[in-house]
Amino acid sequence: MSTTNAVTAVPPADSAIALAHFRATLQFETDCSDVASALAGGAPGFVLLDVRSPTLFARGHVPGAVNLPHGKIVESKLVNYPPETVFVTYCAGPHCNGATRGAIRLALLGRPVKVMIGGITGWLDEGGGLTVSAVE
């Protein structure tokens, strides 16, 4: 059965190519469920960075996240983290590119980094709660 439509007009990649692609994707991103599981274990092995503004962070952020807006990610803000520290960035959600901007800045500084896909929207969709704090 051969049906051509917007999905099938371009055939899928060879399985070996698809496998390499999807494995590589996980080097760059993680999801909210995996982050929640790692955080619940008590020793996640990464620093979760909320790269939104302090005001948005205060309104609600993933418990355990550190606020460092993507535009302020510079080496001097990272001096307390050993060079091998893995960072996971997130922002508001799929409609926001702040997590990617933060990841770029960290990568430019030679820091290992992944993006938590979904951001706050994904976190809430997965049933996660938010922590509210005072604006500094």
What sign for the dihedral angle of Cα 8, 10, 15, 19? negative
- Distance, in Å, from the CA atom of 70 to the CA atom of 50, rounded to the nearest integer, reads 8
Per-residue confidence band for 134, with pLDDT thresholds at 50, 70 and 90: confident
Tell me which H or E stretch contains 31.
strand 29-31
pTM of this structure:
0.91
71: pLDDT confidence band, cut at 50, 70 and 90? very high
Q: Give the strands of the sheet with 29-31, arranged side by side.
A: 29-31, 113-117, 87-90, 47-50, 66-67
> Which domains does the chain show, CATH number per domain?
28-125 (3.40.250.10)
